[in-house]
Amino acid sequence: MIYAMEIAIRDRIEEAELEGKLKGQVYSILELLEEYGNIPDGLKNKLLAQHDTVQLSKWLKTASRVRSISEFEDMIGLNEMK
């Protein structure tokens, strides 16, 4: 019984760490893009819905290179979805 509780606690800690990493990546992207103005809700929602740290890492690097929010949306394929 104690072993099962330890596993459950360890799993929850790992989930919390992953959630923190995801939020950190999203907020970093948003912070970079805020330099160019208000971020559309659709873009915020797309970022917050992403749960792949590899994809978010790519988007973070992209956000560091673009010159506008629109350019970022184009590069991640958001404007194709509209």
Q: Which helix (H) or strand (E) holds 23?
A: helix 2-33
Question: Would you state the pLDDT for residue 80?
Answer: 62
Question: Would you state the pLDDT for residue 51?
Answer: 93
Q: How far apart are CA 73 and CA 60, in angstroms?
A: 12
Question: Would you state the pLDDT for residue 24?
Answer: 94
Domain that holds residue 65: 2-81
Are 42 and 78 in contact by the 8 Å Cβ rule? The answer is: yes
Question: Would you state the pLDDT for residue 47?
Answer: 96
Count of structural domains within the chain: 1
Q: How far apart are CA 36 and CA 31, in angstroms?
A: 10
Structure tokens at 19: 């959630």
Question: Would you state the pLDDT for residue 8?
Answer: 87
Q: Which residues of the chain have pLDDT under 50?
A: 82
Q: How far apart are CA 68 and CA 30, in angstroms?
A: 12
Question: Would you state the pLDDT for residue 82?
Answer: 47
